[in-house]
Amino acid sequence: MFGQSKAFSGFSVDDLDRARQFYGDTLGLQVDMVGEGEMQMLTIKLGSGANVFVYPKDNHTPASFTILNFPVDDIEAAVDELAKRGVSLQRYPGFEHDAKGVVKGPGGDGPAGIAWFTDPAGNVLSVLQED
């Protein structure tokens, strides 16, 4: 039924201007403000061509799960660049993090490494390097 639908995802934030700055300036994504007044949202264009809609929510609660994953060729370089841009990595109990905060994968089907960070609204994002 929806196999050919150009589906999209969305999530909330508590401050559209801070989100626009973070996703546009800090992460270097194409971000456009759409709509007017209380109906303003952000459209983030991902490298895959997909769009993600970000909308304001007064009683926003950060997602407690990863809402966006960014595959990279070199996780060490990506983590270093995030640090240069002022982004701190998250450390979660139950995972063995290296000195930079990267969790190395065991190989096989999972990622070779993954690191989590949050946007200004507290939503969880990740960079990951696949085998």
pLDDT mean over 104-115: 77
Domain boundaries, the chain: 9-56, 66-130
| Topology (CATH level 3) of domain 9-56 | 2,3-Dihydroxybiphenyl 1,2-Dioxygenase; domain 1 (3.10.180)
What CATH number was assigned to the domain covering residues 66-130? 3.10.180.10
Q: In this predicted structure, what is the pLDDT of residue 107?
A: 62
**Do 9-56 and 66-130 show the same overall fold?**
yes
The pTM (predicted TM-score) of the whole model is 0.90
Q: In this predicted structure, what is the pLDDT of residue 111?
A: 74
SS3 letters across 70-92: EECCCHHHHHHHHHHCCCCEECC
Strands in 30-34's sheet, in edge-to-edge order, are 9-13, 51-56, 41-45, 30-34
Place of tokens 């096989």: 108
Would you say residue 23 has pLDDT above 60?
yes
